[in-house]
Structure 1
Amino acid sequence: MKVTQHLWFEKDMEAAIGFYTSLISGSSVQWVSAVPADNPSGPAGSVKIAVFTLGDQRYMAIEAGPLDPFNHSFSVMVECETQAEIDRLWDALREGGSAEHCGWLKDRWGLSWQIAPRRLGELMNDPDRDKAKRVAEAMLKMVKFDIAGLEAARG
C-alpha cells in the first residue's frame, strides 16, 4: 500500500507546489494535468491535478475552486539539522503568510507548517526531566525555533 497526502487548492496549485519543491531538498513534481473537457468536474481546464514529493513524502494536489480552507488539522512538519535550514525555510514559507508560536506558520496559501530542529526531539526526551522541562518552557516562548536557545535552556 501507498499512503499519499492530498491537498486541495482553490487556486495557484502549480505555483504552490513549485515553490514547496524548490525549498525542500529531495523534492520534485512528478506530473501536473488538467482535467479534460468530458469530465463532470467542470469545464475543460477548470480542474488541475498534480503529484509531487516533499522530501520522502508523496503528495497529490488538486486545484478545483473553493472548498474548505486549509487549517491546523493538517500540517507539514519539516525537521531541520541546522539553524540555517530553519531560517531559510521559515523566511521563505512565512513570506505572504503568518508566523505562529512553537515553530508554526501559515504560508501564503494558508497551509500550516512546523519548521523544527531535529534536535528538539532529543532535548525533549532527555532522561533528566528537569532539563527536558526547561527546554519545553523555552520552546513555548519561541515563535521561530532557535537551536542555541533550546540548548541554553537545557543547561
Structure 2
Amino acid sequence: MAELSPIQPCLWFDHQAREAMEYYVSVFPNSRIDSIEEYPDESLDEHFAGMTGKVLSGRFTLDGVHFTCLDGGPVFRFNESISFVVSCADQAEIDEYWAKLSHDPESEQCGWCKDRFGLSWQIVPANMSELTRRPEQVQVMMQQKKIVIAELENA
C-alpha cells in the first residue's frame, strides 16, 4: 500500500460506509478499498448496540487520493459546504462522471451535484479557469447544471 498522506478526508455515513466505498471505487479508475475494520460484537458494550458488522474504520483510495470513512449513525449529514472536485479532461469525462455521481437534480448547479449518499461533487473541466474568464462565460456557467464545455467556449 502506498504511503498515506498526513491529511485525508474522513466521511461519516449513517450506515452505508461499506456500500459507499464499493460504489466509489467502481466510479474512479485506479481505486481500491484498502481496509475495513468492523465494530465489535455489540454484546461486548452497550455503546455498540446495533453496530455489529458496520464500519468502524474504512480506508479507501480513489485515483490516488486516500479517504477514511465510518458508520456513525444519523447524527451528522453531508452538506454542500464540503465537496470534492473532479477535474475532467474533456466533455466525455464530465458526462461519464455526471452520469455516475449525479443523483439529486434539485442540487445541481454550476457543475455541482450530489451522489446517492448525499455527498457533493464538482464535476468540472480541468481548464475551468480558462473557460470562465469573461463575464459572458460566467453567466453561462451560472445557468448550467452539468458543465457543457462548448457552451462556455461559445459564450
The bucket for the TM-score relative to the shorter chain is: 0.7 to 0.9
Match of 1:136 among 135, 138, 143: 138
The residue identity in structure 2 corresponding to 1:19 is Y
* 2-structure distance, mates of 1:147, 1:122: 11
Partner residue in 2 for 1:86: 94
1:41 & 1:32 partners in 2: Cα distance?
20
Taking the TM superposition and a 5 Å limit, the aligned residue runs for 1:6-21 are 6-21=10-25
**1:53/1:59 contact within 8 Å kept:** yes
Residue 108 of structure 1: how far off its partner (Å): 1.1
In the TM superposition, residue 73 of structure 1 has moved relative to its aligned partner by 1.4
Change (3 A) 1:64 1:46: farther
Moved more, 31-40 or 115-124: 31-40
8 Å Cα contact 1:104/1:115 also seen in 2: yes
| Gap runs ≥5 in structure 2 | none
TM-score by length of 1: 0.85
Unaligned runs of at least 5 residues, structure 1: 127-131
CA offset at residue 36 of structure 1? Answer: 2.2
How many residues are treated as equivalent by the alignment?
146
- The alpha carbon displacement at 1:90 in A equals 0.6
Which of 25, 39, 45 pairs up with 2:52?
Answer: 45
Residue-by-residue CA offset, 1:30-58 (whole Å, 9 max, x unaligned) = 11120223567514625412101122321
Q: Tell me how far apart the structure 2 counterparts of residues 145 and 89 of structure 1 sit (CA, whole Å).
A: 11
So what's the TM-score if we normalise by structure 2?
Answer: 0.85
Residues 35 and 54 of structure 1, relative CA distance in 2, 3 Å threshold = same
Tell me whether 1:74 sits opposite 2:78 in the alignment.
no
Determine if the alignment matches structure 1 residue 147 to structure 2 residue 149: yes
Name 2:128's counterpart in structure 1.
Answer: 120
Identity of aligned residues (%): 34
What is the distance in 2 between the residues matched to 1:42 and 1:74? 28
* Whole-Å separation in 2 of the counterparts to 1:102 and 1:148: 14
SS of the counterpart of 1:89?
helix
Residue 103 of structure 1 corresponds to 111
Structure 2 equivalent of residue 29 of structure 1: 33
Which string of whole-angstrom CA distances, capped at 9 and with x for unpartnered residues, describes residues 79-117 of structure 1?
A: 10011111111111124x334110111111111111111
- One-letter identity of the residue aligned with 1:42: F
For 2:54 and 2:23, how far apart are their aligned partners in 1?
Answer: 20
